[in-house]
């Protein structure tokens, strides 16, 4: 999915990996801060995000058991970003 195609309705069709990649595109390619924040909010409607140090293996394992999938963050050697799809718009894993 491209940035300009993202809506509050179709964000629910994304996988965790697609949401991670799209978030990276938004951060790197969208220059207008307000537009960037709005697009990130749309993704946050459907996904919980957690940023964790690679050294925190127990935390990564615990979050993985809750459904989080972890991805390496570009230009960051020590952190991972975890995403977990929500069941509905108001649900959170915690």
Which phi and psi angles does 77 have, rounded to 5°?
-90, -15
- Residue ranges of domains in the chain: 3-85
pLDDT, one tens digit per residue, over 20-64 is: 999 999 999 999 999 999 999 999 999 999 999 999 999 999 999
Residues in Cβ contact with 66 at an 8 Å cutoff, skipping those fewer than 6 apart: 84, 93
Instruction: Look up the pTM and report it.
Output: 0.85
3-state per-residue secondary structure call for the chain: CCHHHCCCCHHHHCCHHHHHHHHHHHHHHCCCHHHHHHHHHHHHHHEEEEEEECCCHHHHHHHHHCCCEEEECCCCCCEEEEEEECCCCCCCCC
């Amino acid at each position: 999915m491209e940035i300009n195609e993202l809506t509050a309705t179709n964000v629910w069709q994304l996988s965790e990996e697609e949401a991670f990649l799209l978030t990276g595109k938004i951060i790197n390619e969208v220059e207008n801060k307000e537009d960037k924040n709005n697009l990130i909010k749309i993704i946050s409607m459907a996904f919980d995000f957690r940023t964790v140090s690679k050294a925190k293996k127990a935390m990564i394992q615990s979050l993985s058991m809750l459904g989080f999938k972890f991805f390496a963050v570009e230009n960051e050697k020590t952190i991972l970003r975890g995403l977990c799809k929500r069941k509905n718009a108001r649900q959170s894993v915690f």
